[in-house]
Amino acid sequence: MRLLPGPQGAAWVVAETATSAVFSLVGLLFVARVIGPQQAGLGALAASAFLLVEGPASMLFGDALMQRRHLSPEHIATAFWVTLGVSVVAAAALALLAPLIAAASSLPEMVPMLQVLALLLPLSGLGGMFSGLALRERWYRLLALRTLLGQPLALAAGIAAGMHGAGAWALVVQQCVASVAGFALMALWFKPWPAPRIDRPALKELWAVAGPQVTALVVMTGRYRAFLLVLGLTSSELVVAATHVAFRMVDVAGSIVVSAIGRLAAPRLAALQHNRTGLAECFGMLSRWQSLGGLPVALGLAVVAPRLIEALMGPAWVGAAAPAQVVGISAALWIAGGPVMALWLAMGRTRMNLWVQGIACVLPLLLMAILRPATPAMAAWCWASTALLLPAAQLHLALQALHRGWLWLAHWMAPALLAALAMLVGAEGLHRATADWPAPYALTAMIAAGGLAWAAALVAWRLLHPGSRDWLSLAAASTSGQE
């Protein structure tokens, strides 16, 4: 009997997503606790500068290779050598600009850190291209092993470096081990490497898909990195460290649900793009799923953040509690908006995604430049400003495109919103009742109370609606209205 799923089993996707999220958060918390807030802030700034350049290089042709129906050796060879060339140029640019970035941040110690990280860019670029080819063949186990093996090694290396007095360099060591391990595994799978050649027709065909896609993904994934860099230019490293820890806590916890729903939503919505009724029903059910899984996480973290940080990080990190609460509320507003990004993709209106991500990137940066936040909470409010407007605005446009109204959406969202409200009340009640308890005990009690209240609310809703047996059935939703 097979104990593990096959190499193309979907369970590997879940394992990869969850492991990546958990180790990203645990790695940050443990290494940051070992090296302290100031060194963690310095390391976070260096890593953010690197990741801002690494993103475009690693995403350059992966999606285009995966999407293309007929893939020739010319396409693969062109993608390989263009990716390598772009990555080498990006590495040289980052190394040369390192003194300017460090001078702008008033942190000269960051120069050698950036120059070492720049050496990883060719590995990251080729690793992203290999990942696109592996995903095309649905080699989910290979992609998961990259995380399941690389992340623990990177965490162990980062903690060991921190305990031996490496300071901010511990985060650099952690990134280096993760990048090298991931590339090595993918390179062993992708062999032999193609002979040097660049085919112009093949490049043109690939770029037709890669250009718009990379632009949208860079804006989406890079906006927080840009935010952190601008924060470093306008605030102290202590503010950067506390804000970064708060953001990562919420982002990592919520990304498991949002990423899973996003992967589930895109192909299902795309399959129903010519069936407006089925498309609307599927979107409603996916919105319910996303809120059922995501709202308890985001709102729960907003409630338990002070005790959670006290228990995991110690009193030196108390400044991260307030921004974590703000970011948790912000994340909840985005989660409640449903998988709108996948909906625009299915409807062929991807420019809407680019507009939303562009506004979400620019507005916080403008606010920071104007307000120059002096505390982590002020920085978090600058970031959360977009959540007060954009999720509701794009959801309104999505409902118009689906020819549906807010009351229709409320029907789908009712159980999720009811359960989230019950969880919030239960956790907040225990928060007040356990104010004098030690942090670990109070945290356990709050999580238990919130979880029980969430489950009780769902049971109550189910008992009040005995006829809706398919209230979580995506198949029923997508076939309930055929045109």
Which of 131-135, 235-239, 365-369 has the highest mean predicted lDDT (pLDDT)? Answer: 365-369
Instruction: Tell me the backbone φ, ψ of residue 196, rounded to 5 degrees.
Output: -60, 120
More confident residue, 343 or 16: 343
Residue type, 57: A
Question: Using CA atoms, how far apart are residues 72 and 197, in angstroms rounded to an integer?
Answer: 13
Same domain, 198 and 333: no
Model confidence at 53: pLDDT above 60: yes
Same domain, 116 and 264: no
Copy the structure tokens of residue 130.
């290999």
Copy the structure tokens of residue 292.
């059922």
Domain count, the chain: 2
Copy the structure tokens of residue 3.
């104990």
Same domain, 299 and 170: no
DSSP type of residue 166: -
Same domain, 151 and 260: no
- Among 186, 219, 252, the domain-final residue is 219
Residue 230, in any domain of the structure? no
Same domain, 186 and 269: no
Q: Give the number of C-alpha atoms closer than 13 A to the C-alpha of residue 198, restricted to the C-beta side.
A: 10
CA distances for 451 relative to 188, 224, 238, 372, 465, angstroms: 44, 30, 34, 38, 21
Using an 8 Å Cβ cutoff, are 136 and 66 in contact?
yes
Same domain, 242 and 355: yes
Using an 8 Å Cβ cutoff, are 222 and 55 in contact?
yes
Residue 260, in any domain of the structure? yes
Q: Counting every residue, how long is the chain?
A: 483
Q: State residue 67's pLDDT score.
A: 62
Model confidence at 1: pLDDT above 60: no
Same domain, 473 and 346: yes
Same domain, 173 and 245: no
Which of 133-142, 244-253, 438-447, 468-477 has the highest mean predicted lDDT (pLDDT)? Answer: 438-447
Residue 392, in any domain of the structure? yes
Same domain, 292 and 435: yes
CA distances for 176 relative to 60, 122, 173, 438, angstroms: 21, 12, 5, 37
Residue 317, in any domain of the structure? yes
Q: Nearest-CA neighbor of 269 among 292, 286, 256?
A: 286
Residue 322, in any domain of the structure? yes
Query: What does pLDDT average to over the chain?
Result: 81
Residue 323, in any domain of the structure? yes
**Per-residue pLDDT reduced to its tens digit, 395-426:** 999 999 999 999 999 989 999 999 999 999 98
C-alpha 164 chain-centroid distance: 31
Same domain, 140 and 202: yes
Same domain, 207 and 306: no
Same domain, 205 and 243: no
Question: Using CA atoms, how far apart are residues 130 and 143, in angstroms rounded to an integer?
Answer: 10
- Among 219, 248, 282, the domain-final residue is 219
**Per-residue pLDDT reduced to its tens digit, 119-153:** 999 998 888 888 878 877 767 788 778 888 888 88
Q: State residue 327's pLDDT score.
A: 83
User: Following DSSP, what letter does each residue of 288-329 receive, concatenated?
Assistant: HHHHHHHHHHHHHHHHHHHHHHHHHH-GGGGGGHHHHHHHHH
Which residue range forms the structural domain that includes residue 189?
Answer: 1-219
Q: What is the pTM of this model?
A: 0.66
**Per-residue pLDDT reduced to its tens digit, 262-300:** 666 665 676 677 788 888 998 999 899 889 888 988 888
Provide the pLDDT confidence category of residue 476 given band limits of 50, 70 and 90: low
Helices (H) and strands (E) in the chain, counts: 19, 0
User: Following DSSP, what letter does each residue of 171-235 receive, concatenated?
Assistant: HHHHHHHHHHHHHHHHHHHS-SPPPS---HHHHHHHHHHHHHHHHHHHHHHHHHHHHHHHHHHHS
Residue 228, in any domain of the structure? no
Residue 470, in any domain of the structure? yes
- Among 219, 244, 276, the domain-final residue is 219
Q: State residue 483's pLDDT score.
A: 40
